[in-house]
Amino acid sequence: DAGITQSPRHKVTETGTPVTLRCHQTENHRYMYWYRQDPGHGLRLIHYSYGVKDTDKGEVSDGYSVSRSKTEDFLLTLESATSSQTSVYFCAISTGYQSYNEQFFGPGTRLTVL
């Protein structure tokens, strides 16, 4: 357990509504990531952060934005949710100080967009 929580754990919303998912960590790790998991695709990187207010896009960033105003929180926002964004979303952290920089994952958020 790397002290990572995600909220909400489940959410059902309607097309066109904004949605914000929160990732919270307790250990002040520098690097944070948002992935989405879909059947047949594994996990794909949406956005990542390498420090407070420092973020960048991953491979599937269209339709998503992120913010990191504090070390411990990394927010993922769907400005106008679409059915194609129905997925399981995982937050992950890595320290950036070890050779492996292995990532530790939160419990995931299941989002359904109707």
Residues in contact with another protein by the rule CB under 8 A: 31, 33, 40-45, 48, 50, 56, 58, 88, 90, 92, 94, 96, 99-105, 107-108
Q: How far is the CB of 90 from another protein (least distance, A)?
A: 6
- Which helix (H) or strand (E) is 41 found in, with range? none
Neighbouring C-alpha atoms within 13 Å toward the C-beta of 57: 7
Cβ nearer to another protein, comparing 16 with 51: 51
Token pair for residue 88? 């399981």
Q: How far is the CB of 9 from another protein (least distance, A)?
A: 10
Cβ nearer to another protein, comparing 56 with 79: 56
Q: How far is the CB of 57 from another protein (least distance, A)?
A: 8
Cβ nearer to another protein, comparing 19 with 35: 35
Kindly list the distances between the CA atom of residue 39 and the CA atoms of 8, 54, 80, 87, 102, in Å, as whole numbers in the listed order: 21, 30, 23, 9, 23
Q: Which of 77, 90, 70, 66 is nearest to 26 (CA)?
A: 70
Q: Which of 39, 38, 43 is nearest to 105 (CA)?
A: 43
Cβ nearer to another protein, comparing 31 with 64: 31
Q: How far is the CB of 8 from another protein (least distance, A)?
A: 14
